[in-house]
Amino acid sequence: MSHVSLLPLLGYVSNLARREYRSSSVSGRTYPPVCYHRLRPLSGHFHAMANIKQQKKRVGITTRERIENLRYRSTVKTLTRRLRAAVDEGEAEKIEAEHKLLVQWIDRATSRGALHKNAAARKKSQADRLVAGKR
């Protein structure tokens, strides 16, 4: 099997890619065909739906998990903004309450796997520094 006939199997289909090898006029060597407009294999969020029942289930499960992880990360960001606003206002009780709630949500997101443990430690450290600056 030649290199040219394998291209459609790899997902790269183009008229230019189906041409025979071209030869160099200077060295006489042959080179594979040049194709600047290859169709890329489908990947990422935009691909065909699976035909297998279990894969259809997995797509739904993964979507739900992704949305739940997004909810945790978004809540942590919102609580960080609230803490920053409380620090700007300077109310000690409000700062303490917002800080406690933020740390609880960061720990919850970490235990669920929505945040990496190092990212969680970094966010807690940033919150501690923010609170310590106004004490």
Q: pLDDT (tens digit, 9 = 90+) per residue, 110-124? A: 999 999 999 999 999
Q: What is the CA radius of gyration of the chain?
A: 27
Last residue of a domain, one of 9, 24, 47: 47
Can you give the CATH number for the domain in which 85 is found? 1.20.58.110
Quote the pTM value.
Answer: 0.61
Burial of 38 (0-12, 13-18, 19+ CB in 10 A): middle
Count structural domains, the chain: 2
Burial of 126 (0-12, 13-18, 19+ CB in 10 A): middle
Residue range(s) defining the domain that contains residue 34 = 1-47
The fraction of the chain above a pLDDT of 90, given in percent, is 56
Q: Are residues 65 and 103 in the same domain?
A: yes
Q: Are residues 38 and 79 in the same domain?
A: no
DSSP letters along 37-92, please?
SPPPPP-TTS-PPPSSHHHHHHHHHHHHHHHHHHHHHHHHHHHHHHHHHHHHHT-H
